[in-house]
Amino acid sequence: MIPLLAAPAVQGQHTRYVTFQGQAVAVSSDAPEVLEGLESTFSAMLAPSATRPVGQLEVTHYDGQYHVRGNTEIDLEDGSLADVLRCVRFSVIQLLIQARPDLLWFHAGAATSGDRAILLPGPRGHGKSTLVTALCVRGWTYLSDDIVPMNPIASEVVPFPMTPARREFPGREMPEDWLRVPNKIEVSLVPASICREPMAVGVLVFPSYGIDAVAALSACSPAQAAVELLQHCWNFPSHREAAVRYVCNLAERLPAFHLSFSDGNRAAELLIDTLKDGRRHG
């Protein structure tokens, strides 16, 4: 971990505060393009000020290079703007995860309709963002497309509304150098389509994008659902046995499916129809 070092004030430096559940991370920079990128990524999570930020990051630009430092791990690869924005995004998320160790944090997407949320866990490139944004176009409300905090006591998804971004080439194997350049397209959402309250989970769906796959749902056993959930729990080492008990209980209680697809719109319609039928016969 790199400590935040004291430094003289940088002329033209401004600070933005990324907030989650009363916690905030302060990001300061003298580079307008960095602040613009931050505002785009966290547009629905910004606050004008914060009393006691749980973390701080500083991005400066001089001698033709970006320099990032803060009180979390800093892992710049090539120093480009895209690399800096990736680093800042990851660092903000890590600081918020550290500030809320009581939550279980999943690599997943989530959206809600009515009083229940759908949880879409999966690795990168499996179509989480594609499905979440397709559901939101159809009237669902947005919780997150990539990072889902869950309250294990209430079994609720806590909103983490970063700006959703669909991968330009979902489902493809991505060389490491792809991670250094923008390969996602941000999707604008109106404020009314963003859920601000925790929502109970109603169904688990594990998506898998395939270039020629026909949209199809298949049942997922509770044991398999629990295993896959644990694979996508970012802070599992902090919870261990408690996390295992929680996801096993969740998988026993909720319907779970595998979803293969190539067309996000058709997959979203299939999900909506299936969930409607389930409620009709439930």
Confidence (pLDDT) at 102: 96
Does some domain include residue 154? yes
CATH number at residue 218: 3.40.50
Report the number of distinct structural domains present in the chain: 2
Does some domain include residue 168? yes
Q: Which of 99, 125, 160 is the last residue of a domain?
A: 99
Confidence (pLDDT) at 278: 63
**90 and 117, same domain (yes or no):** no
**156 and 238, same domain (yes or no):** yes
Cα torsion through 239, 231, 92, 25, rounded to 10: -30
Does some domain include residue 4? no
E strands, 114-215, are: 116-121, 141-144, 147-151, 156-157, 165-167, 184-186, 199-209
Q: Nearest CA to 218 among 272, 252, 257, 255?
A: 257
**109 and 246, same domain (yes or no):** yes
Q: Are strands 199-209 and 116-121 parallel, antiparallel or unpaired?
A: parallel
Alpha helices in the chain (DSSP H): 32-41, 81-99, 128-137, 222-231, 236-239, 241-253, 264-281
Does some domain include residue 186? yes
Confidence (pLDDT) at 72: 72
Full domain range(s) for residue 43: 14-99
Q: How far apart are CA 54 and CA 95, in angstroms?
A: 7
**260 and 156, same domain (yes or no):** yes
Does some domain include residue 8? no
For the chain, the first-to-last Cα distance in angstroms comes to 50
> What would the two tokens of residue 200 be?
């109970």
Contact 40, 163 (CB under 8 A): yes
**108 and 71, same domain (yes or no):** no
Does some domain include residue 3? no
**140 and 258, same domain (yes or no):** yes
**183 and 67, same domain (yes or no):** no
Q: Which of 99, 133, 157 is the last residue of a domain?
A: 99
Helix, strand, coil percentages, rounded to 5, for the chain: 35, 30, 35
**111 and 95, same domain (yes or no):** no
Contact 250, 154 (CB under 8 A): no
**216 and 255, same domain (yes or no):** yes
What is the 8-class DSSP label of residue 182? Answer: -
pLDDT tens, N- to C-terminus, the chain (282 residues): 333 333 344 557 999 999 999 999 999 999 999 999 999 999 999 999 998 999 999 999 988 889 999 877 677 778 889 899 999 999 999 999 999 999 999 999 999 998 899 999 999 889 999 999 999 999 999 999 999 999 999 999 999 999 998 765 554 444 444 444 445 677 778 888 999 999 999 999 999 998 889 999 999 999 999 999 999 999 999 999 999 999 999 999 999 999 999 999 999 999 999 988 765 444
Residues 6+ apart with CB under 8 A from 3: 71
**164 and 218, same domain (yes or no):** yes
Q: Are strands 14-20 and 23-29 parallel, antiparallel or unpaired?
A: antiparallel
Does some domain include residue 157? yes
Q: Which of 55, 77, 99 is the last residue of a domain?
A: 99
- CB hemisphere CA count around 234 (13 angstroms): 24
**203 and 277, same domain (yes or no):** yes
Contact 160, 104 (CB under 8 A): no
Contact 25, 53 (CB under 8 A): yes
Q: How far apart are CA 61 and CA 29, in angstroms?
A: 8
Does some domain include residue 5? no
Confidence (pLDDT) at 188: 76
- pTM for the whole structure: 0.88
**156 and 36, same domain (yes or no):** no
Contact 89, 114 (CB under 8 A): no
Confidence (pLDDT) at 74: 75
